[in-house]
Amino acid sequence: MFGEDRYELYGLPSGNPYAGRPLDPLLSPSDCELILELEGFIRLAMIQAVVEQAIKEKRPAFFLIVGVGNSGRTTLANHVMHLYRQAAAAHAPQFTFLAHGAERGDMTHDSYAVLCSTLLSLRNKMKGHQIPISRELGDWFAELSQKGRMVPLNEYDLQEIAESTARECASREAGFGIRYEGVPDKRLIPLAQRVFENTSTVVVFTVDDYQHANTVQLTEADRQAFGKQGHVCDLNALTPRQIAALATDRWNGTSPTPFDPEGIQKVFGARSYTIGQALRHLEILLDLRLSEYERDEPWPTDDLRIHELWIRLKLWQRDKWNKLDGIDG
């Protein structure tokens, strides 16, 4: 992006702080600092309390995260997994966390096959971390692998395999967590809850919140049924106040943030923005400001300030360009 070679003028240590991507503290611990509550957008304290209580009571923690594209579903799911691992490690300093992530490309409408794949993945992760598998559990895994869909096991057989897996992991100060990304068939949700209901684990489902024939249509009854054992997190569009908080809290350069918080609230109040969309706008606005700056005096200076009128001008220009459909044709 143009202007990237001048980020030092803002005192930015590692580029544009509003560059959006799914965050994963399990893989990159520093990502944890970028996950923000944003005036109630995410209830991090509640999530942490839920996972800590589940670990204390040795029961599962189920989370259902619902939102449209770019609403932060994957990031929140990853963070839930991180909080669970962190809370479990507080009780067992040598705790080993086996994380299974079923991505969108791995998911099918065959809920049974998805559950079988999950259990076999956990088997492989146990082997990879040199966690011994008893002969009995090994036989269960072999049967699960060989029979497949030809002679499917009962859901209570799957439950027994899950419970045995959890027990044998616990005997070696280990545990597991599961993330199902973009659930394509809502039947997976109650089935997974049944299979893992007697294990000490965390299972996170993300669901697309679209009224479309190819997406899961969760009814209020579905949500209430899930709520009996788990917690539903709705990721709605950001309010103008939350976008202003995002601009301020994500800033890691020279203080203060160049964005005018009141101006942000006024300008971004006319439309609805997901967190991904808001980050993209902030990222581009920062780069545009740098591209127009011809001096070398670092921030804070008025010519690098990103105020309301300038933002309005750039968004107006964006709208005008967007209306030039086929400008080259």
Residues lower than pLDDT 50 in the chain? 1, 3, 327-329
- pLDDT, residue 3, reads 47
- pLDDT, residue 325, reads 59
Q: Could you report the per-residue pLDDT of 4-22, keeping only the tens digit for each?
A: 569 999 999 889 999 989 9
- pLDDT, residue 61, reads 98
What is the C-alpha to C-alpha distance for residues 96 and 140, in angstroms, rounded to an integer?
A: 23
- pLDDT, residue 320, reads 82
Instruction: Say what the pTM is.
Output: 0.92
- pLDDT, residue 328, reads 47
Residue 237 DSSP one-character state? P
What is the C-alpha to C-alpha distance for residues 125 and 277, in angstroms, rounded to an integer?
A: 36
Under 8 Å between Cβ of 209 and 65: no
Which residues, 6+ apart, have CB-to-CB distance to 170 below 8 Å? 200
How many residues are present in the chain? 329
